[in-house]
Amino acid sequence: MIKFNKYRSSKSLPPVSTASLPDIVFILLFFFMTVTVMKNQNLLVENTLPTATETEKLDKKDRVIEIYVGKPTNDSNANLGDEPRIQMDNKFITVDEVGDYALQALSSMPEHLKSVATVSIKADVGVKMGIIEDLKTELRMVNLLKINYTTYEGVAVDNL
Amino acid sequence: MKNHRNSQEVNAGSMADIAFLLLIFFLVTTTIENDSGLNRSMPPNIKDNSVDIKERNLFEISINDADLIMAEGDIIDPKNLREKVITFIDNGGLPLEAEGYCNYCKGNRFSDSSENPDKAIISIKAQRNSGYSVYVAVQNEVLAAYNDLRDRESLRLFNIPYKTIYSDYYNEEISEEEKGQLKERLEIIRALYPQKILEPETVNN
């Protein structure tokens, strides 16, 4: 035993081969390439979504109308204050305009997708229910009844 | 140093650097788009839509300005909400001989709670100043309660959880035949525990 150990330790260790490092990095690279989607909207509002457990996957992008709600981010618009705002199509809109913009988005969809269109409400955790209720009323007015409260995966009670 | 060289290999060391550069490029230019959430459908915009509901069949959840949750007249811990909703829906309070008796319910069969799952209605009411996150949490717990019950029935009838049936149904790789069967099963379970969530107009204050 002792002899064996002696024999082993007397030899210097061979250097660790880094030949597989590129492979590992490529795997990571492919992972990121496949799971990520290019951003098509520039977020103008804070958008930390709440968490929920009973989530369902949202439909494909082509039948989803996105509405962001949250406080304006400070860097680009310092004079907008703290009141939550609604963002659609890369700009701020008022509650009254939501219906118009939603219909506009709906009309640009192919005919067969119009009946399955879903509105995804991406609201920040800090938003109050008032603006969400107004938003929902507006959407009901234009008969867009399928909505999705978009959330992160996680225990819902953590929100509180 | 030179004596150590005994093989002629192409130096692949820079490959890692190139890959790293690409990796970092993708890391910074892309965001992981999250595209899941709670699906709900709203009622159509009809003015006259009042219905008569027996008080025993209504489970009222309200959220106040201070983000406290009240269910059935008591302030409750959100952690207990799911359990309360399950007890309410699964009560099956109608007597054995009555029409609409719930023979699959495993509840307490109290006479002051819901008659059967088909009649049981959950009402979620929020104030204008309630937090959105609390509202989402309440919605989530109510949906979780329904999903728990549907899971239970699905396991009893078909030996697979409701979630599995549901995700299989939306899986594009399955055949039409299987899809038809899954749809049938989904409908059976949904009929046993239909989701009835009511959202009265928010009260202005």
Judge whether A95 lies within some domain.
yes
Asked whether the ipTM of the predicted complex exceeds the cut of 0.90, the reply is no
pLDDT for position B203: 47
DSSP states of B108-163:
---TTS-S-TTT-EEEEEE-TTSBHHHHHHHHHHHHHHHHHHHHHHHHHHHSS-HH
Supply the pLDDT for residue B49: 62
Within a domain: A76: yes
Q: What is the pLDDT of residues B159-186, one digit of tens each?
A: 888 888 888 887 777 788 888 888 888 8
CA closest to B78 among chain A residues: A157
Which residues from B are below 8 Å from A25, CB to CB? 16, 19-20, 23
Residue B20 falls within a domain, yes or no?
A: no
Residues of A in contact with B44 (CB under 8 A): 140, 143, 145
User: Which three-class secondary structure state does DSSP give residue A129?
Assistant: helix
- For A61, the domain range is 51-159
pLDDT tens-digit map of B105-120: 888 888 888 888 888 8
> CA A144, CA A142: separation in Å to the nearest integer?
6
Q: Decide: A116 and A59 in contact? Cβ < 8 Å.
A: yes
Identity of the residue numbered A91: K
Position A61 scores a pLDDT of 76
Domain contains B18: no
Helix (H, G, I), strand (E, B) or coil at B8: coil
Asked if the structure places residue A17 within a domain, the reply is: no
Query: Is A123 part of a structural domain of the chain?
Result: yes
Considering the domain boundaries, does residue A155 fall inside one? yes
pLDDT at A32: 79
Q: β-pairing, B58-63 with B121-126?
A: parallel
Q: How many structural domains is chain B composed of?
A: 1
CATH code for the domain of A117: 3.30.420.270
Identify the pLDDT of residue A158: 66
Which stretches does DSSP call E strand in A2-153?
Answer: 37-38, 51-52, 56-57, 64-70, 85-88, 91-93, 118-123, 146-150, 152-153
Residue A19 belongs to a domain = no
pLDDT at B205: 42
pLDDT, tens digit, 9 for 90 and up, residues B129-138: 888 989 999 9
Interface A:B, Cβ pairs < 8 A: 168
In a domain, A150, yes or no: yes
- The model's pLDDT over B38-88, given as tens digits with 9 standing for 90+, comes to 888 888 877 666 677 788 888 889 998 888 899 888 898 888 888 989 988
**Interchain contact, A57 vs B45, CB within 8 Å:** no
pLDDT below 50 — which residues of chain A?
A: none
Q: Could you tell me if residue B21 is inside a domain?
A: no
Burial zone of B180 (CB within 10 Å; 0-12 exposed, 13-18 middle, 19+ buried): exposed
What is the domain range of residue B66?
55-198
Q: How many domains would you assign to chain A?
A: 1
pLDDT of B204 reads 45
CB B192 within 8 A of CB B104: yes
How far apart are the CA of B43 and the nearest CA of chain A, in angstroms? 7
Closest CA to B118 of B169, B165, B180, B54: B54
Task: Determine contact: B145 vs chain A, CB below 8 A.
Answer: no
**Residue B7 located in a structural domain:** no
Q: Measured between CA atoms, how close is B22 to chain A, in angstroms?
A: 7
**Cβ-based neighbour number of residue B148 at 10 Å:** 18
Residue B12 has pLDDT above 80, yes or no: no
Predicted model pTM: 0.78
Residues 10..69 of B with a Cβ closer than 8 Å to A: which?
12-13, 15-16, 19-20, 22-23, 26-27, 29-45, 63, 67
Q: Is residue B70 part of a domain?
A: yes
Mutate to test the interface with A, among B69, B136, B169 (most CBs of A within 10 A): B136
Q: In chain A, which residues have their Cβ closer than 8 Å to the Cβ of B24?
A: none
- The residue of chain B with its CA nearest to that of A29 is B23
Q: How far is residue B20 from each of residues A18, A24, B14, B26, measured CA to CA in Å? A: 14, 10, 10, 10
In angstroms, what separates the C-alpha of A74 from chain B's closest C-alpha?
Answer: 20
Question: How far does B171 lie from chain A, in Å, by closest CA?
Answer: 11
Task: Check residue B5 and give its pLDDT.
Answer: 58
pLDDT at B141 over 60: yes
